Structure 1
């Protein structure tokens, strides 16, 4: 965020009102009992620290990034409501909450008068928990937008790991992607890559197109370290359609290797 804050000051400041900037809180940021999860103190302090690091007066969206089983849901939602009413954010959202907790949180926020705008769940070909949990349907029922994070499964659904684990990659550094996960999924990923090539797409492009299929997901959140990766991902829009045969083949591959690195965050 500090590096992003420097870029904001030097390059993006004149375009602030044309940009959507979001932040979130839920995981450990500092020591002690108020350094993570979903208490009012943690959420508001975390938001304030993010604003300071980025040099902003407000963010457009602020998320509660995981359900806290030890804090009343009312407290967490009231903190989000306060963050909006105090001018720290324009809208609030949830991230990783399962469908039951999402429905409960939505009801509280609606009563408070600060509706839940969007949900950010993990979702990709190898991680379809929002379908089995019923979250995808719940979001449509409630009229809540959705933006899928890790649509490329931390880089698994790209050409990065087709020939092993390259130096400097997430898996090589064991940063949220353990080498054993790559080894478990590599054969499935190769099958998906063959399908993508047959469609005239890169694996990343097909994976993003799949997440956005049928309009069930509003948007896909990509993480890029190079401009070329952004260009590649944006190319997904050139072929967003899937045949029933393609979807059935992807379903079969999805069942082979179901990987959800954020399962505990939703419960």
Structure 2
């Protein structure tokens, strides 16, 4: 017997919502990314449980890209199925984002930042999700061979066509971000957001990017805020055999990345978290959210319990100067 999903009536009571840059849009402090575990190789029932539980917890923002899966495109298809079966009535309560820029189909128009690729890719994404528009559409990476004016012009056109409400960029340097902000401003479609890697172990955004976003009135959403799961209790006793780092086919996190020095830092950070009544993951998320320009952290998950733990970070977001100094000493 099919059961109809009914969301938690108290879903907005405890989540924190932050204004994104100088826009009217607020994002939940914790957003759900569908980078992994939502593809056609994964279990639809688990994906549905994670998305519905996220919504019950006040997570209104679901972040996708054309190439998420695997296979590429299948995360959008999975999300579209769950949207249609359970969440269609709540579409206006949700922020759905997707991106284009990485490889999707053969030939010269299947990746990068040409107007041809950007428009075609979004049209495909909308079909896969069964949507008329997305809330945020991103240029997923800068294209060294396409003029920035063309890529930003495509984003502007997409908004004017009604296929996206806001636009963003991802993986752009501080200097490229400054240029994108200026071009989009001149076109009349301001840059809403930059999606960037940011964690205790990856702080490149502090070297100019956050300042450019501040000056340009754009917000930031941090992806991999838990450093691919390293900043969780998963690695406190070394590298588990079933972890991403131990997997020989992990494209990102490798066993060599989990050094003795890093494990020592994780254990010290965990002691601070325990002293605050938090898990290490909750401390790591609070630390990223301490920056005013960061509107949201983008979490990934393979099970509901991870989402519940991560959302628990909002119960203790403030960090005092002593705690920040202790963390800085460990990270140094």
Question: TM-score normalized by structure 1?
Answer: 0.90
List alignment gaps of at least 5 residues for structure 2: 1-75
**1:77 alignment partner in structure 2:** 152
Name the SS of the counterpart of 1:171 in structure 2: coil
Match for residue 221 of structure 2 among 133, 147, 152? 147
**Compared CA separation, residues 51 and 79, structure 1 to 2 (3 A):** same
Measured against aligned partners, the alpha-carbon deviations of 1:30-68 in whole angstroms (never above 9, x if no partner) come to 233322221111111221121111111110000111111
Rounded to whole Å, the distance in 1 between the matches of 2:330 and 2:86 is 43
Q: Please, which of 234, 237, 243 is the counterpart of residue 163 of structure 1?
A: 237
Aligned-pair CA distance for 1:236 = 0.8
Name the counterpart of 1:183: 259
Q: Are the counterparts in 1 of residues 226 and 281 from structure 2 also a CA contact under 8 Å?
A: yes
Q: Do structure 1's residue 126 and structure 2's residue 201 form an aligned pair?
A: yes
1:212 counterpart (277, 282, 289): 289
| Higher percent of residues as helix | 1
Retained in 1: the 8 A contact 2:100–2:139?
A: yes
After superposition, what is the alpha-carbon deviation per residue over 1:69-115, rounded to whole angstroms, capped at 9, x for unaligned? 11110010011111111121111011121111111111111111111
Offset of 1:253 from its aligned partner? 3.3
Give the CA deviation at 1:214: 4.6
**Cα displacement string for residues 104-146 of structure 1 (whole angstroms, at most 9, x for unaligned residues):** 11111111111111111111111100112x1111111111111
Extract structure 1 runs of 4+ deviating beyond 4 A.
none
What's 1:24 paired with? 99
- Pick from 191, 212, 217 the counterpart of residue 138 of structure 1: 212
Stretch of structure 1 that moved more, 199-208 or 155-164: 155-164
Return the alpha-carbon distance in structure 2 between the equivalents of residues 36 and 119 of structure 1: 20
Contact 1:127–1:254 (CA<8 Å) still a contact in 2? no
Q: Which residue of 2 aligns with 1:239?
A: 316
Gaps of 5+ in 1: 256-267
| 8 Å CA contact 1:147, 1:220 repeated in 2 | yes
Residue 37 of structure 1 aligns with which residue? Answer: 112
Q: How many residues align?
A: 254
Three-state SS of the structure 2 residue aligned to 1:31 is coil
- Residues 219 and 293 in structure 2, CA contact (< 8 A), matched pair in contact too: no
The Cα RMSD (Å) is 1.6
